[in-house]
Amino acid sequence: MTAAASHPFDQVKIGIVSISDRASTGVYVDKGLPALQDWLTRALKNPLQIEPRLIPDKQILISQTLIELVDAGCALVLTTGGTGPARRDVTPEATLAVAHKEMPGFGEQMRQISLKFVPTAILSRQVAVIRDQTLIINLPGQPKSIQETLEGLKGSNGETLMAGIFAAVPYCVDLIGGPYLETNDDVCKAFRPKSAIRPIPSA
């Protein structure tokens, strides 16, 4: 029996996509993929299979990459980069082009969190969509902003001041037929209605 098969939590395949012309051509080192993988490893108890992609800001290529990851069985796909108003920023358009349903609440909450730090957060155009049984979310480009929007804002005693978007991700994945995601509460506590909570399995 493999380690994944004997694990008490469902195995989860997650796609992470960093979108940058310069990073994809080696002008500078990409920081988005390591930041996403580190955060997911800390936040989730599930055994993870991470599918990383580093690609340039090309709308057709972004859409093709998202479809590829969905078809590969990713329950969740997170992108970083390309969500501003600049001419080369086309990640939202590429994401909407492959959508079966839009989930506007994720983008709205990310902008509310970022507005606590910078007024230019209103220029961010992150979107979230569902394609088949996969949730796709555009995240900001900076590692610090990625963590803030996923985790939310906490006070000096660790209390939640504003919920991050990842608190809603596991239940959304439940509703679209994906695996059951278990979070580490000290990083990000998932919210589910009581009727949707599974008993904690024994290891």
**Interval 103-138: pLDDT, tens:** 999 999 999 999 999 999 999 999 999 999 999 999
Q: How many domains does the chain have?
A: 1
% of the chain exceeding 90 in pLDDT: 84
Q: Structure pTM?
A: 0.94
Q: What are phi and psi of 152, to 5 degrees?
A: 90, -170
201, part of any domain = no
Q: Please check whether residue 164 is in contact with residue 113, taking contact to mean a CB–CB distance below 8 angstroms.
A: yes
Backbone angles phi, psi at 132, to 5 degrees: 55, -120
Residue 163 in any domain: the answer is: yes
Q: What is the pLDDT of residue 3?
A: 46
Domain that holds residue 93: 3-196
Task: Tell me, yes or no, whether 125 lies in a domain.
Answer: yes
CATH code at 80? Answer: 3.40.980.10
User: What local confidence, expressed as pLDDT, does residue 6 receive?
Assistant: 56
- pLDDT value at residue 160: 84
Residue 202 lies in a domain: no
Domain assignment present for 62: yes
Give residue 23's pLDDT.
87
In a domain, 203, yes or no: no
Tell me: pLDDT of 2 over 50. Answer: no
The answer to whether residue 111 is domain-embedded is yes
108 domain residue, yes or no: yes
